[in-house]
Amino acid sequence: MAVTLGDSVECGEDVLFKEINGEAVLLHLEVGEYFALDPVGTRIWTLIRERGGQVGAVLAGVVAEFDVTPDEAERDLLALLEQLLAAKLLRLAGPSSG
Amino acid sequence: MPTYLAFGLRIAAERSLPGLVPFDGEGVDVYVALAPTSSDHGYEPPGIPDCRVIREDGGVISVQYSDGVAFTIRSDGGAVAGRWSPPQTVDDAICYLVGPILRTVLRLRGVPTLHGSAVALDGNAIAVVGPSGAGKSTLAAALVKAGGVLVTDDTVTLARSGHEFRILPGYCGLRLWPDVAPTVCAHEQLDPITPTWNKRFLRVTGRQFRREASALRGVYVLSGRKRLETHLVEPLDGPAAFIALAANMGVTYVDGRDLRAENFVTLADLVERVPVRCVTPVDDLSGAASLAELILEDARRLPAGD
């Protein structure tokens, strides 16, 4: 099922995160795979933690902080979240309460 | 029983272990038993042997290579038993022992490693890592020829001393392919290693081998790519450096959750404290001498360790 703006996501419990020079490395401890996030992806990961994982709120943060149209931001954000969900770095926490 | 000192380990073995430094002090950290077996494994694929790793009851680790050489390693890394069957020989078993098996022992004893070589300059060391066949040992030989001092081949320890990473002296020789060896040494300096492997052993002795631990000053990652005209040595930062080093960590097959988490912290610290470079050489390492000079020039500009 595709993630939507009405969903919430949360960081996987088996995931380690380290920010390095504005980018980040993630490790899934059970799978043993490493992932890299560019500066925008790193900021999105941080927004997820700051905004309770609510996808709509994360999108608002991206639009406010980056020079991007809302449509492009939504498309790119949802695509990134799908990748992170597929890699089990994130999991769906259910529909947003807000 | 002969005893050796390598990577900070006092190793007592039932047989002579070429390439390791003899030790006449007291105490033993690892006991090694090697014996032939008559069983016929019946299969030998070409190329690099596959490896199967099994965690057995009691935490013993069984490492089985498809060429018939096999090891069992006690869960605390305090004992290793190796066996081989024809056409492999004791030399093949020793080759695995001083490489991936000792890296496994080190990991079990809490010391992560990189798969690579290390050369000291003015008391500090640089590590050369990269995929198999990238030319790590050839480049290390060229660095020694250009004035560096060998610390180890094949296994680079990431031992800690406070905030500093230290490379412990290990294998006192270099294993070179015969076709590139003439670019870094004379033919008569090379000894065969095993009857079943073409690489040759270049023993490094005296002042060309460093017997003390060295602070890690920089890591040079040999990329799998080649250039047509000039060597390239360029900074590698952030996640790119982290993942390049993660790809060159030794024996991750023993890593469960806890060791993976430890590795993550170690690599994060390493990338923050030690400069990492990406090295893209010209098409073949017949240019090893010029690449070594380029790396030495870069390394001398790196901050020196304590």
**Residues on chain A touching B269 (C-beta within 8 angstroms):** none
* pLDDT, tens only, A4-51: 999 999 998 899 999 999 999 999 999 888 999 999 999 999 999 999
User: Does the structure show a pLDDT above 90 at B101?
Assistant: yes
Name the least confident of B18-22, B33-37, B40-44, B63-67. B40-44
**Residue (of B91, B100, B97, B94) closest to B194 by Cα position:** B91
The whole-number pLDDT of residue A82 equals 96
Radius of gyration of chain A (CA): 13
Q: Measure CB to CB from residue B264 to each of A22, A27, A36 and give the nearest one.
A: A27
Whole-structure pTM value: 0.91
Q: What percent of chain B has pLDDT over 90?
A: 62
User: Does the structure show a pLDDT above 80 at B180?
Assistant: no
The whole-number pLDDT of residue A59 equals 97
* pLDDT, tens only, B235-267: 999 999 999 999 999 877 777 888 899 999 999
The whole-number pLDDT of residue B285 equals 59
CA separation for the pair B169, B20 (Å, rounded): 10
CB-based contacts of A25, cutoff 8 Å, min separation 6: A17, A18, A34, A35, A36, A37, B239, B242, B243, B264, B268
Average pLDDT estimate for B58-83: 93
CA separation for the pair B112, B253 (Å, rounded): 12
End-to-end CA distance of chain B: 37
CA separation for the pair B258, B246 (Å, rounded): 16
Residue A89: pLDDT band with limits 50, 70, 90: very high
Interchain CB distance below 8 Å, A32 and B252 = yes
Select the residue from A20, A35, A45, A89 to test the B interface by mutation, using most B Cβ atoms within 10 A. A20
Residue B168: pLDDT band with limits 50, 70, 90: very high
**Residues on chain A touching B275 (C-beta within 8 angstroms):** none
Interchain CB distance below 8 Å, B238 and A14 = no
Q: Establish if A86 touches chain B: CB-CB under 8 angstroms.
A: no
What is the pairing mode between strands B173-176 and B197-203? antiparallel
Q: Establish if A31 touches chain B: CB-CB under 8 angstroms.
A: no
The whole-number pLDDT of residue B44 equals 52
What is the pairing mode between strands B214-222 and B124-129? parallel
Residue B203: pLDDT band with limits 50, 70, 90: confident
Query: Which ipTM was obtained for this model?
Result: 0.88
* pLDDT, tens only, B72-94: 999 999 999 999 998 899 999 99
Using a 10 angstrom Cβ sphere, with 0-12 exposed, 13-18 middle and 19 or more buried, the burial of residue B258 is exposed
User: Does the structure show a pLDDT above 90 at B183?
Assistant: no
Q: Measure CB to CB from residue B246 to each of A29, A30, A34 and give the nearest one.
A: A34
* pLDDT, tens only, B208-234: 999 999 999 999 999 877 777 889 999
Residue B287: pLDDT band with limits 50, 70, 90: confident
Residue B42: pLDDT band with limits 50, 70, 90: very low
**Residues on chain B touching A27 (C-beta within 8 angstroms):** 260-261, 264
CB-based contacts of B23, cutoff 8 Å, min separation 6: B3, B4, B5, B10, B11
